[in-house]
Structure 1
Amino acid sequence: MPKRVAVLGAGASGLIAIKSCLDEGLEPVCLEKGTDIGGLWKYHDDVRDGHGSVFSTTVINTRQEDFQGRIVHTHDYKKSKGYEDKRIMVIGIGNSGADAAVELARVGSQVFLSTRRGSWVISRVGENGVPIDLFGIRRIFDFVPISWKASFAERVLNQRFNHANYGLLPKHGVLQQHPTVNDGLPNEILSGRVKVKANVKRFLKTCVEFEDGTVEEDIDEVVMATGYTFGFQFVDESIVKVTNNEVTMYKYVFPPHMKHGTLAVIGLVQAPGAHNPISELQCRWATRVFKGLAKLPSQETMMTDIKNKKEAMASRYVKSQRHTIQVDYIPYMDEIAEMIGVRPNFYKLFLTDPKLAFKCFFGPTLPYQYRFMGPGKWAGAKEAIETLWYRVIYATKTRPVDEPLNKSGLGGFLKLLVLLTVILTLIMKFL
């Protein structure tokens, strides 16, 4: 009889967990409090207590303020209907806050966007119209000093629009905080439909006072995009305890104090890249542990790893509950892949298939790279990597056009970066 594995939640990570269990010959039993699969990404119009969806409902209190208008959290915001011709205050400049501000600006008479410390704003569209993660998440960049990467990224972002002129420039660097990803915010600020304001000092009956001394009158609606907290109400605190969004788990997956590795938390990380590939690798690791095919290290080793990760995060990121589960995309994926023997061997790959190795090292880091070898090896991984750009372009090139004669596979900057990285590597090797 196969081992039975309880999967709590049928959201994005839960569905991946189910598939991974089936791939390993385990019998998954999924427990879902809702009536359908999809979790937070399953949109529904009605209000369901304790069960969120994209912009689902949770009305919050105004604490000591006596503001007379309506105050809701972004968890309560679903669509702009009902906000027409209103003066709206959005508090918080994370992804939810920026998305809400942009959408509300199209129907409200004026939107104000309050931010405590500002933010770097990244477009989803990168060089030559390529999705930004396909351009920015490449193994070659991990060999570039972080100060170089930050300096270049900030220059590129300010070329799109000057963050200082738009009132968004933070005191921290672009790699010291999870950035805001939004394509429409600069346009709405430029048109005047969104005005960026300082942190809120207090609410009055119909106005809001800010820490810089300015006041905005006749505010009708307030949308709080002030972040979220997470927890595990169904797990005893002696196993998984969450304090201020901080949790002690080995590689953010396994509680280190359990005698047996029979509990895994999937998807509890935040990375500058696609989430599902991370969840998939975590699930592949967890199912191997459940079957006894992969072993967890000693408790002492796990606690040391946890301590080192927390210290590294604290030294790099702005102190905030947003940055308690932050990881770097490729290094973290490689760590998990190493645990189950599926991390790509680039020395071997460069010798056996240099063209494919070049694509994997200098091109976008795709999850197919973790299907070359080991458990879960897939014969179609190479072809999937080699045909990436066909699939990307197919989705947007819906009208046939003539191809330009000077077509190039690598952008000018990327070519320069490759050259600089090779030179730097050679210098460090011979020092």
Structure 2
Amino acid sequence: MLPGTERDRQNGGIEKFKGKIIHSREYKHPEKFQDQRLLVIGLGNSGADISVDLSHVTMQVFLSTRTGTWVVNRVSDDGYPLDVVHFTRFKNLLHHMLPTALVNMWAEKKLNTRFNHENYGIKPQHRFLSRYPIAADDLPNAIIAGRVLMKPNVKEFTERGVVFEDGSREENVDAVIFATGYSYFFSFIEDGVIKTRNNQIPLYKFVFPPHLEKPTLAIIGLLQPLGAIMPVSELQARWATRVFKGLVTLPSEDTMMADIMKKIKYNERRYVPSQNISLQVQYVDHVDELASLAGVKPNLLHLFLTDPQLGWEVFFGPCSSTQFRLMGPGKWEGARNAILTQRERIVKATKTRAVQSSVDSVRATWDPSLFVKVIGCFAVFAVMLAYLSFGLKEPENDF
């Protein structure tokens, strides 16, 4: 995996620029840029985080973006982490059932409630579901304080400055940091074992090269989930080891290639073009797919019938990796208790000051949102029944 700096140097006459040029991979500490004027190119997670980090010590940071982006908070509803609130099986079901336009409208309205993306120069032309957002809690704070100034795409460079596509220009720029992604290839593996083209890497379920005579090679972590990559990588490794041991058999090469092409075409339909479009996956859908292959996906119907409390938390609660220790290979006796107490452990790190419980806190022992969730379930099934009853075609939803 190499930074795209060499590709970027060919754009906009960067060879004219006499200041420092680095890729985000080389950035370590902000102190070396003390009191300088910097340009960061690329509004991904790295570009946003580096810009905010630098803005505390530099004279000025300019953040250039070609497309803009939607910005989500790591700290979400009630102060819980974003993935705890939104990456649940219940919400994943709703996202699949509801029309894409409705989900886009709801998500964009919610994000603009915190800060209007248009007023901050970040609003993209694409809708929320058409490209992955970035998690950057501090970026709007840096923009409103003037420490970070949003700029459009770069048109050209001068010896000590830059001209942007809207005609504006900035002089006395000391350094340029490219946060423009990476080009993927495997220099330590023989040519032909893994084929890469335009950052497309044909791997079955993003793990196995389909054309090998024996499944003796697995690639772990080479994908871009909307969510944490660690639980996904763990499930990839658990599945891969079962394949290596001969406990699970891969399908034929043709079947694997058909699955690979299906996923690529799905992403091309769903997302606007981007460098890593072929590597993107939905978190809940993909971990469930891997868990099924490894034989560790929880049986929701069985859980609701035999242990309703646990079934409720598995369905409505965060889709944590502990759910895949309830049954099958690698089953853990402590998984049930870990799942039922996970919310307590999440807030334990923040409750370092004891606060006397109020009446509202006592009442919150029974979560009123549970009623809303139940009604939501009935609403979803009612909509599906209506489509079936009236013979209407279910609207295509690419969430």
- Per the normalisation by structure 1, the TM-score is 0.83
In structure 1, what is the equivalent of residue 396 of structure 2? none
In structure 2, what is the equivalent of residue 188 of structure 1? 142
How does 1:230-269 map onto structure 2 within 5 Å? Answer: 230-269=184-223
How does 1:301-340 map onto structure 2 within 5 Å? Answer: 301-340=255-294
SS of 2:182's equivalent in the other structure is coil
Q: Distance in 1 between matches of 2:186 and 2:339?
A: 38
**1:267-293 CA distances to partner (integer Å, 9 max, x unpaired)?**
111112221111111111111111110
Q: Distance in 2 between matches of 1:124 and 1:429?
A: 36
Instruction: Return the match for 1:106 from 40, 52, 56.
Output: 56
Change (3 A) 1:62 1:300: closer
Instruction: Return the match for 1:116 from 46, 54, 66.
Output: 66
In structure 1, what is the equivalent of residue 183 of structure 2? 229
Say whether 1:400 aligns with 2:350: no
The amino acid of 1:171's aligned partner reads Q
Q: Distance in 1 between matches of 2:282 and 2:353?
A: 37
Q: Distance in 2 between matches of 1:413 and 1:247?
A: 43
SS of 1:175's equivalent in the other structure is helix
In structure 1, what is the equivalent of residue 93 of structure 2? 143
- Alpha-carbon shift at residue 205 of structure 1 (Å): 1.2
Q: Distance in 2 between matches of 1:415 and 1:170?
A: 36
In structure 2, what is the equivalent of residue 69 of structure 1? 19
Say whether 1:217 aligns with 2:178: no
8 A contact 1:178–1:323 mirrored in 2:
no
- Alpha-carbon shift at residue 412 of structure 1 (Å): 7.2
- Alpha-carbon shift at residue 210 of structure 1 (Å): 0.7
Q: Distance in 1 between matches of 2:57 and 2:369?
A: 40
Q: Distance in 2 between matches of 1:263 and 1:140?
A: 35
- Alpha-carbon shift at residue 417 of structure 1 (Å): 5.5
Change (3 A) 1:412 1:155: farther
Q: Distance in 2 between matches of 1:267 and 1:109?
A: 38
The amino acid of 1:361's aligned partner reads F
8 A contact 1:124–1:181 mirrored in 2:
yes
Which is further off, 85-94 or 160-169? 85-94
Change (3 A) 1:404 1:365: farther
Change (3 A) 1:418 1:162: farther
SS of 1:396's equivalent in the other structure is coil
Say whether 1:419 aligns with 2:375: yes
Change (3 A) 1:302 1:338: same
SS of 1:157's equivalent in the other structure is helix
**Percentage of pairs with the same residue:** 46
- Alpha-carbon shift at residue 418 of structure 1 (Å): 4.9
Q: Distance in 1 between matches of 2:78 and 2:310?
A: 23
In structure 2, what is the equivalent of residue 170 of structure 1? 124
Matched residue count: 377
- Alpha-carbon shift at residue 399 of structure 1 (Å): 0.8
Say whether 1:285 aligns with 2:239: yes
- Alpha-carbon shift at residue 414 of structure 1 (Å): 7.6
Q: Distance in 1 between matches of 2:207 and 2:55?
A: 40
**1:359-386 CA distances to partner (integer Å, 9 max, x unpaired)?**
1101111111111111111111100001
Q: Which has the higher helix share?
A: 2
Q: Distance in 2 between matches of 1:397 and 1:429?
A: 45
8 A contact 1:83–1:104 mirrored in 2:
yes
Q: Distance in 1 between matches of 2:370 and 2:58?
A: 42
Q: Distance in 2 between matches of 1:212 and 1:394?
A: 49
SS of 2:219's equivalent in the other structure is coil
**1:6-64 CA distances to partner (integer Å, 9 max, x unpaired)?**
xxxxxxxxxxxxxxxxxxxxxxxxxxxxxxxxxxxxxxxxxxxx9x9xxx9x8998443
SS of 1:364's equivalent in the other structure is coil
**1:152-185 CA distances to partner (integer Å, 9 max, x unpaired)?**
2211111110000000000112222121111111
**1:326-345 CA distances to partner (integer Å, 9 max, x unpaired)?**
00011111111111211111
- Alpha-carbon shift at residue 409 of structure 1 (Å): 6.4
Q: Distance in 1 between matches of 2:115 and 2:367?
A: 21
Q: Distance in 2 between matches of 1:79 and 1:348?
A: 51
Which is further off, 76-85 or 183-192? 76-85
- Alpha-carbon shift at residue 306 of structure 1 (Å): 0.7
Bigger relative contact order, structure 1 or 2 (CA pairs below 8 A, ≥6 apart): 2
Change (3 A) 1:356 1:61: closer
The amino acid of 1:333's aligned partner reads V
8 A contact 1:138–1:364 mirrored in 2:
yes
8 A contact 1:60–1:72 mirrored in 2:
no
- Alpha-carbon shift at residue 230 of structure 1 (Å): 1.8
The amino acid of 2:35's aligned partner reads D
Q: Distance in 2 between matches of 1:351 and 1:296?
A: 33
- Per the normalisation by structure 2, the TM-score is 0.90
In structure 1, what is the equivalent of residue 39 of structure 2? 89
**1:158-217 CA distances to partner (integer Å, 9 max, x unpaired)?**
111000000000011222212111111100100111110000011011211111111112
